[in-house]
């Protein structure tokens, strides 16, 4: 078991334990051998963070850092900002200075050198050797791999592997939602006595243990504003809370042990018959999906027939492999 280590000013933690990054490398290489692939160019920041058990804060609301990685059967290249390589904690975490197996030795190179290094790798490939790269990677990086060697894939082995949660991660998700619920309960208790709300969830979340930051800007909306997708309160559109309109809040937080994304709709007075009807239909949809049997191998498109809109608010952040509009099969413990 291993801690997540943080770059970019985040504190270290020994709380969030998961599979050590070396074992993840071994498992990834197993998939590469299985598909007869010599190299894998990792471009998605969340996949790099997951693979190496590292987190950062280079992008607002996302615990990732700018980097590339190239994984070979016998080599590991991590491309990131040079100053970060000097961090003693990072060096210890990646075993840059200590003894390690040659096949697990990480070479840290400058972020901007990834193109040159990739071209050099491709120049030494045999005629039948293949290089994996996501079909969502940049055009420049993709074209650095000659077509004869290029093997673009829609869902990388890392994308699929990180969607399957181990028991520690599942427990972390539960704990994160308990802390999220405490913050929301405190908010609603305060709102019952107020008539104006200015999205003050951050201080409530920050009081919870192992809080890192928000997972996205809070969507706080009253009345007709609640029907606007990804609404943001503005001076010209702000509305006071009232006893006659619905209030919707969509919020989430990053904790060391999990990430949340929760939507709640409440009414501080007596809702109209039409509001009750609409709310009941949505509630019935939630109940139907939660009661549905998900056999191993079920595809997301199957459930899309009856649930064309996302209904999993409150079950954590979404991973790509299984969504209701994607045909990937469901496997045990996937989120």
Please report whether residue 309 resides in a domain.
no
pLDDT digits (tens, 9 = 90+) for 119-171: 999 999 999 999 999 999 999 999 999 999 999 999 999 999 998 888 888 99
pLDDT tens digit sequence for 312-327: 444 545 555 445 445 5
Residue of 121, 158, 129 lying closest to 29 (CA atoms): 158
For 14-70, how does the pLDDT look when each residue is reduced to its tens digit (9 = 90+)?
Answer: 445 568 899 999 999 999 999 999 999 999 999 999 999 998 889 999 999 999 999
Look up the domain containing 228 and give its range.
167-304
In a domain? residue 333: no
Categorize the per-residue pLDDT at 286 as very low, low, confident or very high, splitting at 50, 70 and 90: confident
Task: Write out pLDDT tens, residues 239-267.
Answer: 888 899 999 999 999 998 899 999 999 99
> Does an H or E element contain 203, and which?
helix 201-206
Q: Distance (Å, rounded) from C-alpha 327 to C-alpha 195? A: 45
- Do 147 and 18 share a structural domain? yes
Beta strands in 4-121 (DSSP E): 5-6, 39-42, 54-55, 68-72, 76-80, 106-110
CA torsion 107→109→111→116, rounded to 10°? -100
Q: pLDDT tens digits for 162-184?
A: 988 888 889 999 999 999 999 99
Residue 288 and residue 203 share a domain: yes
The pLDDT of residue 324: 43
Q: Are residues 14 and 149 both part of a single domain?
A: yes
Residues 225 and 96 in one domain: no
Residue 320 is assigned to a structural domain of this protein: no
Query: Are residues 226 and 142 part of one domain?
Result: no
CATH number of the CATH domain containing 189 = 3.90.230.10
- State the total domains in the chain: 2
CA end-to-end distance (rounded Å), the chain: 21
Q: Provide the CB-side half-sphere exposure for 221 (13 A, CA).
A: 19
Q: Which of 162, 187, 215 is the last residue of a domain?
A: 162
> Does residue 77 lie in a domain region?
yes
**Domain presence at residue 62:** yes
Whether residues 205 and 294 share a domain: the answer is yes
């Amino acid at each position: 078991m291993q801690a997540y280590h943080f770059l970019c000013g985040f504190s270290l933690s020994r709380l969030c334990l998961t599979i050590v990054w070396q074992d993840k490398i071994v498992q990834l290489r197993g998939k590469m051998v299985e598909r007869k692939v010599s190299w894998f160019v990792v471009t998605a920041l969340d996949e790099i963070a997951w693979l190496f058990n590292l987190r950062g804060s280079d992008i607002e609301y996302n615990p990732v850092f700018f980097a590339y990685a190239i994984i070979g059967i016998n080599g590991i290249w991590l491309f990131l900002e040079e100053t970060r390589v000097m961090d003693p904690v990072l060096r210890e975490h990646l075993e840059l200075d200590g003894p390690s197996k040659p096949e697990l030795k990480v070479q840290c190179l400058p972020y901007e050198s990834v193109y040159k290094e990739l071209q050099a790798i491709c120049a030494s490939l045999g005629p039948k050797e293949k290089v994996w790269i996501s079909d969502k990677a940049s055009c420049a990086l993709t074209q650095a791999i000659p077509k004869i060697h290029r093997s673009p894939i829609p869902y990388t082995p890392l994308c699929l592997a990180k969607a399957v949660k181990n028991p520690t991660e599942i427990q972390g998700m539960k704990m994160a939602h308990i802390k999220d619920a405490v913050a929301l309960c405190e908010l609603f208790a305060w709102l019952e006595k107020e008539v104006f709300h200015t999205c003050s969830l951050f201080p409530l979340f920050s009081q919870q243990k192992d809080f890192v930051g928000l997972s996205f800007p809070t969507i706080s909306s009253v009345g007709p504003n609640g029907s606007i997708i990804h609404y943001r309160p503005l001076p010209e559109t702000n509305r006071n809370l009232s006893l006659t309109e619905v209030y919707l809040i969509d919020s989430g937080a990053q904790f060391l042990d999990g990430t949340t994304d929760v939507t709640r709709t409440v009414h501080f007075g007596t809702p109209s018959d039409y509001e009750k009807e609409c709310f009941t239909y949505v509630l019935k949809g939630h109940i139907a999906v939660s009661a549905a049997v998900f056999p191993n191998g079920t595809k997301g498109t199957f459930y899309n027939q009856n649930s064309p809109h996302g209904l999993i608010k409150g079950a954590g952040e979404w991973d790509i492999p299984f969504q209701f509009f994607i045909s990937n099969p469901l496997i045990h413990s996937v989120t």
